[in-house]
Structure 1
Amino acid sequence: MLLRLRSKEGNFRFQFDPAADISVLLNKIIESSPNADPNTITISDQPRGNEVPLLSLSGRTIQHLGLNNGDLIFIQYKELAGATESTSTPTTLPSSSTGVTREPKAWELAQEDPVDTFWRSKDGKIPRNRDTTFCKHGPKGMCDYCMPLEPYDAAYHKENSIKHLSFHAYLKKISPKTDNSSASFLPPLDPPSYTVKSPCPVGGHSPFPAGICTSCQPSAITLQSQPFRMVDHLEIANMDIVDRFLNAWRRTGMQRFGWMIGHYEPYPDVPMGVKAIVEAIYEPPQAGELDGLTLGIPWEDEQRLRQLIANASTPLSVVGYIFTDLEPMEEDRTKNVYKRHPDSFFLSSLEAVFAATLQNASPTSTKSSPTGKYSSRLVTAILTATEDGAIDVSAYQVSAQAEAMVAADMIEPSVDPGIVRVKENDRTSGSARYVPDVFFSYKNEYGLEVKKSAKPAFPVEYLIVNVTHGFPQNPSPMFRSSAYRIENRPGLEDQTIESVLAALAGLGAPDIPSSQLLPPGQAHKTFELAKFLSDLHLIAFLQTTQLVSEEDIKVWLKTVTSPTLLDDPRELDPVLATEGWQSLMTFTRESAPAPGRPSNAMDEDISEDILRQIAEEQAGNNHPSSSSVRVCPHCTFENDHSGTDCEVCGLPLA
């Protein structure tokens, strides 16, 4: 049942089980009034008079007090002597008096992203210059024509073609103008839930699917475009990141999927905006097809990678995912079919349900929700064709309503990619589902707003939130190299320790000392090595070889992602000082080819006659024409094939 509590701290509403002990009510009172002395708490059904000490009712249930759903209880108490705690500090009451401990609220325990902490410290006001036409005051004055605007100002957003409010601008709009640290503060965001409440707040019947009533069943749903978005802009740190991801599709024609690794920062182009910056794309195991792909969720090595990237100089996380949807035109293979446009779809119903599933699995921690979590910042990015046949990125999220509907198992994809199907009620034991009435509004041919039932299906656009995207004008990526082979591309790019050792040998890594012993004029070798190591795919692979300890790998990742890595040779010293580096250099020296032999990791499988012939060719006898030989700048092996990568170390040829 729902009970309302009124005290000097304000008005509160809580759900109670009618059969719960009175101590549950005591805990809720202490939760909403942390400075209350439990020995002095009284309750009454009137503002004045008829007070009853709460502790005198010990042993009774809430239902035995004669309380009904929606009743208002008036609370009186005396404050604890010298109490100064606020809601942000958990309070423990003396066990000798009541034994009741105030548990911290869920939103108080939420660990927000640094970008949220940044915007919470700002008022978000939009500054305006003095209007020379209407402002009649001096340069230090202010009036209605030049005073700063609120971050949710509708006219400003329309003028600047900003379709959605940012998350924090939306919070400013719906939050009361009160101190968030006060005891009466309640988070403004209530995550939508479309599942049947169990147990029923009122009780009196068996749990669903055996029984259901108006108190436990979800209300009717009216679909509407979400007015805000959790992420306002997707920024890819370097064009090479996308180009390397696309390379697999170019060489096989099969679609490809990858997790976008990055971090969040303020986005100045939108009031109180947030942008997701993609620093790398990690490709999980998958089976690509011409018109789709098969993917395992949760993906292999997920926890290992998440723990690894958290040790970067700026902690990284999974900020979204990206996949290709490309099909070359038959008449011109250099162009692609224009699939996604206003007359077809932008995000298919299958993709929308998939996005909602992943967003539900990656909620955003926030102090603005009673549960401590709300929606998600996971971005869906698609590499697809533009109208002229070129390739571009499209970015989306799905709304909180979409997340709640998928969580309640209410919707499913349909054959038409632009249509979402609403499921039917199901009271089968084990798969019970209750689907309330669902409506959506649209303007008819006369310009009138019409509400229509969403059953059996509705347009997928009601679930989508657009996200802008782009590339920085002056790229400054966290990872300086994107040359090493990408994981989980069997037969296309195979990651081997031999290729790593060959590349390190080609860079002369075993002979590069720390900065204190570095000879004059040799700093460029340190920078070349540092750039080669600054690659997430390389670091993630080395972690799996067991040649480098977990602690050393953390040091390596933090070092190679430093913003000043290529500014000073001393920046690489932490890597060169680790035991893992010394072990790797030992293997590099042992695997280095003997003079006159090619640096091929498979030499042991080649006969002596062939090796002698290769040595003679390198010495000048029967040497291939210079026009067909390209020397790898990394491992110095002479390649005489037409490919773009070295056949030994796998890195791009100069």
Structure 2
Amino acid sequence: MDQTIIVRVVSDAGRNRIEIDPRSTCEELKEIISAKIGIPARKIKLYADQGYRRPYKGTDSSSLKKAGFTNGAQVFVPAKNAKMQDIINVPKKADDEEEKIDTSTKAGGNPDEEGKEVPDGFEKKCSCGPTDKCLMCLGVTKDNFQDVDYKCHCVGSQKCPNCKDENLIQDVKHIPFEHHLSELRAKCKKKHTPDQRCQDCIPLVDISYKYKPGCTSHKPYPEGMCNKCIPEACILNRQKYRHVDYISILNYPELQKFVDYWLGGHCMEQRVAWLYGYYSEDPNYPEGVRANIEAVYDPPQIGEMNGFQILQDEKEVYVDMVATSLGLERVGWIYTSLNHESFLTPKEIREIARMQERFAIDHPEGVKVPKFVTIVVKPKGDSGESGLDCYMVSDQCQALERDNILEVSEDHTKLITREPEKNEMIANVIQEGKTVKEFDPEFFIVSLSNGQPIDAKEYSILKNYDFLAMNRQFQPNKNDAKDYINKHKSDSSTEKFANFQFLLYIIEKLDIDTVCALAEKIGKGEEVEDFIVELVESLAS
């Protein structure tokens, strides 16, 4: 670890974290970036600022150290055709494991797997190595683990092409979105010349169920219409792909406190919080995407027995600024629910669709795609415990909600379409060849896997989760800050303040610029300047 540095790459495709030897050349760094975003290395230019005005010094043959790269350095790459986000994981110790815990509820989980018995483990189907665990090792312990032949000698979070076994995804209902696109592109090979296009290789377009006004071929509707302006019918289909494949919970202690706070009120008031983290490649799926959760933030809210209301939050912009300085972004939300009748209610599905639309990101092919994940906390049986279920909704559902096709349903088991207003045309919803006004919401549910790394602190940005969360019954005060500072006084300057809730608290005591400067040092893993340390520690006096 002492001989490597972290380089944070920012491009049109998103953020990437790369671990590399500082003695490597700039050309070698470009080759790694090229493999991750799909841009030829010769076309990659490295800048130290977002405006692309300050290029890193040195030639391709210069070492990274000579070119000015330090641990946590941020690199901006102008790359319009960048393909996807990725991460090269920091190597863990040989005894590190990724623990896949059973967090699902009996009432929740995967609608595609309802009624299907889940075996204890799939040890013969995986190839993650004897010191690691993957999605197919769920429930495997040292007592029932069976030795198998491995194709590689990777340990911990390290992955190579040999350990990406196709058996890992043979039972998965939703394939990664980028892999789905690759399969479509593969179908059109040799079917036509390079300058032609077919249904499999045409550029992506956003799904739309809106009426297209302004057609000059006829009078305005209802006096006239044609195939060009009529809304496209929505043919209900289960989505084959998903934009996020796996959720890794790096801040399990903090998430547990969120759940405990809800349970402490006897589940009478539902709670909601934003999830902050980053996206990375998931080696268990071909071209898969993993959402890594590092922090939660409770916005101002009103909780009720059957739901919650998020209030206007004047501090939200500051929360996002601190998260960005840490190298994090808002990747999802978590909320509690007492719904036992279905996986998700129609109201929940519509709200998730709105959130995915709100936080959709730009895809290199020019469309918006969702990567905003949902974690639902529900009671787990009669034991007093709770479980987590992770979802997204399909692109089709998101488009129906965005284009105002759906309506409030009194039936908690059905989604319904609204009636068109006078002189209005809306899209029809078709199920099994028939136009329907109500339908099963499970058509739209996309289930995600989740798990918790055992030694998340080894490679997470945030190290501490022992400060009171904002916007709960007991607000943090000066004494809490004093206790926290004294508790971590002997820690390194990077680790002692690596607490998201503490950083949010000191915004009011200092100023947002100082806190962001502190957060940026934490995100880069660099020592904090003495004057900032003294300024923060003065809050304990």
- The TM tier, using the shorter chain, reads 0.5 to 0.7
Q: How does 1:189-204 map to 2 (within 5 A)?
A: 189-200=204-215, 202-204=216-218
Change (3 A) 1:205 1:544: farther
**Cα distance, 1:278–1:587 mapped onto 2, change above 3 Å:** closer
Going from structure 1 to structure 2, the CA distance change for 1:584 and 1:508 (only over 3 Å counts) comes to same
Q: 1:576 aligns with which of 517, 530, 537?
A: 530
Q: 1:271 aligns with which of 286, 297, 304?
A: 286
Q: Distance in 1 between matches of 2:369 and 2:222?
A: 28
CA shift for structure 1 position 462: 1.0
Whole-Å separation in 2 of the counterparts to 1:374 and 1:471: 29
Of 462, 467, 473, which aligns to 1:479? Answer: 462
1:434 match:
425
Q: Give the direction of change, closer, same or farther, for the CA distance of 1:419–1:88 in structure 2 (3 Å limit).
A: farther
Higher deviation after alignment, 211-220 or 168-177: 211-220
Sort the Cα spacing of 1:116 and 1:406 in 2 relative to 1 into closer, same or farther, 3 A. farther
Q: Which residue of 1 aligns with 2:30?
A: none
Letter in 2 for 1:188: P
CA contact (8 A) 1:255 1:325 kept: yes
**Structure 1: 5+ residue runs without aligned partners?**
1-86, 90-106, 119-126, 129-147, 327-338, 442-450, 510-524, 566-570, 590-654
**What residue number does 2:319 align with?**
305
Report the AA paired with residue 445 of structure 2: I
- Tell me by how many angstroms 1:171 deviates: 1.0
Matched with 2:117 is none
Structure 2 partner of 1:454? 436
1:381, 1:172 → 2: CA distance?
Answer: 29
Distance apart, 1:381 and its partner CA: 0.8
Please, which of 200, 219, 231 is the counterpart of residue 218 of structure 1? 231
Q: Which amino acid aligns with 1:237?
A: L
Aligned partners of 2:80, 2:416: CA distance in 1, in Å? 38
Assess if the C-alpha contact under 8 Å between 1:237 and 1:475 holds in 2: yes
Determine whether 1:256 maps to 2:250. Answer: no
Amino acid at match of 1:394: D
8 Å contact from structure 1 (residues 257, 324) kept in 2: yes
Change beyond 3 A, Cα 1:556–1:111 = farther
Preserved contact between residue 255 and residue 292 of structure 1 (Cα < 8 Å)? yes
Determine if contact 2:277/2:294 at 8 Å carries over to the other structure: yes
User: What are the ranges of 5 or more consecutive residues in structure 2 without an aligned counterpart?
Assistant: 1-42, 46-77, 90-125, 128-160
TM-score (norm 1): 0.53
Residues 59-118 of structure 1, C-alpha deviation per residue, up to 9 Å, x if partnerless? Answer: xxxxxxxxxxxxxxxxxxxxxxxxxxxx999xxxxxxxxxxxxxxxxx984776532999
1:353 aligns to 2:335 (yes or no): no
Structure 2 residue identity aligned to 1:439 = I
1:427 positional shift: 3.2
Q: For 1:584 and 1:358, how far apart are their aligned partners in 2?
A: 36
Q: Provide the secondary structure at the position in 2 that maps to 1:487.
A: coil
Q: SS of the residue aligned with 2:178?
A: helix
**Number of equivalent positions:** 387
Q: Which letter maps to 1:553?
A: V
What is the DSSP-based 3-state SS (H/G/I as helix, E as strand, rest coil) of the residue aligned with 1:526?
coil
Residue 310 of structure 1 aligns to a residue whose secondary structure is helix
Contact 2:278–2:329, Cα closer than 8 Å, also in 1:
yes
Do the aligned partners of 2:250 and 2:452 also contact (CA within 8 Å) in 1?
yes
Secondary structure of the structure 1 residue equivalent to 2:352: helix
> Which residue does the alignment assign to 2:507?
543
Q: Which residue of 2 aligns with 1:323?
A: 335
Residue type matched to 2:508 in 1?
Answer: T
- Matched residue SS, 1:394: strand
Aligned equivalent of 2:371, options 366, 374, 377 = 377
Q: Distance in 1 between matches of 2:488 and 2:349?
A: 50
2: CA distance between counterparts of 1:577 and 1:558?
15
Deviation at 1:157?
Answer: 7.3
C-alpha distance in structure 2 between counterparts of 1:249 and 1:209, whole Å = 52
C-alpha separation between the residues in 2 aligned to 1:204 and 1:542?
63
- The higher relative CO (CA closer than 8 Å, separation ≥ 6) is in 2
**What amino acid is the match of 1:382?**
V
- Cα 1:115–1:210 shift into 2, 3 Å: farther
Alpha-carbon distance change, 345 to 109 in structure 1, aligned in 2, over 3 angstroms: same
Instruction: Give the aligned partner of residue 76 of structure 1.
Output: none
Structure-1 residue corresponding to 2:491: 526
Q: Distance in 1 between matches of 2:497 and 2:411?
A: 47
CA shift in 2, pair 1:587/1:363, >3 Å: closer
Alignment root-mean-square deviation, CA: 3.6
1:557 equivalent to 2:519? Answer yes
Letter in 2 for 1:576: D
Aligned residue for 1:286?
A: 301
**AA in 1 matched with 2:499:** D
Post-superposition offset of 1:531: 4.1
- The Cα offsets for residues 361-388 of structure 1, whole Å up to 9 and x where unpaired, read as 11121113xxx23330011110113346
* CA distances 1:192-214 after superposition (whole Å, capped 9, x unpaired): 100011322x44323x6786433
In 2: Cα distance, 1:416 partner to 1:117 partner: 47
For 1:364, the equivalent position in structure 2 comes to: 361
Distance across 1 between alignment mates of 2:335 and 2:343: 14
The equivalent of 1:391 in structure 2 is 386
DSSP 3-state at the match of 2:456: coil
Displacement of 1:183 = 8.2
> Quick one: distance in 1 between partners of 2:505 and 2:173?
42
| Contact kept? 1:418, 1:460, Cα under 8 Å | yes
Q: 1:260 offset after TM fit, Å?
A: 0.8
